[in-house]
Amino acid sequence: MESFIGVSKIKKQEIVSEIINEWDPMDLLAMGAEESRYRNQIDKIVDALDGVDSVDELARYIKQFMDASFSTDFPSITCLQVAVLIWEEFKK
C-alpha cells in the first residue's frame, strides 16, 4: 500500500491512536478510562495498514476488530468515516 510505505510504526500508532481515542467508540474514555483502553484495537488497525489497498478495506478491518472486541455491531458507515480520517491523515 503506497500511502503507508515509509511511515514508521510509531507514527502510524500516533495517528491511529489519536483518531480512535477521539472517536471513543464505546465512550470509555468519556467515562474516565485511560487513553490506553483501545490499545489492542489500535495495534490491530496499525498492523492492518500495510496490507490494505483501499479505504473501504480499512473500514472493513476496523469494523471487524471493533465488533469482535466489544461484541457489538458497529455501523459500517461509522467505520468508513473513521477509516477515511485515518487514510486522509496519511496523505498530508
- CATH number of the structural domain spanning residue 74: 1.10.340.20
Q: How confident is the model at residue 1 (pLDDT cuts 50, 70, 90)?
A: very low
DSSP reduced 3-state for 25: coil
**Domain membership of residue 32 as a residue range:** 2-91
Please give the model's pTM, rounded to 2 decimal places. 0.92
| The three grid cell numbers given for residue 73, joined into one nine-digit string | 455491531
**Closest C-alpha to 50, from 12, 83, 85:** 12
Task: Give 25-78 pLDDT, tens digit per residue.
Answer: 999 999 999 989 999 999 999 999 989 999 999 999 999 999 999 999 999 999
pLDDT at 3: 63
Q: How many domains does the chain have?
A: 1
Tell the residue number behind the cell numbers 478491518, with chain if given: 61
Give residue 54's region: left, alpha or beta (phi > 0; psi -120 to 50): beta
3-class DSSP state of 62 = helix
Residue 4 pLDDT > 80: no
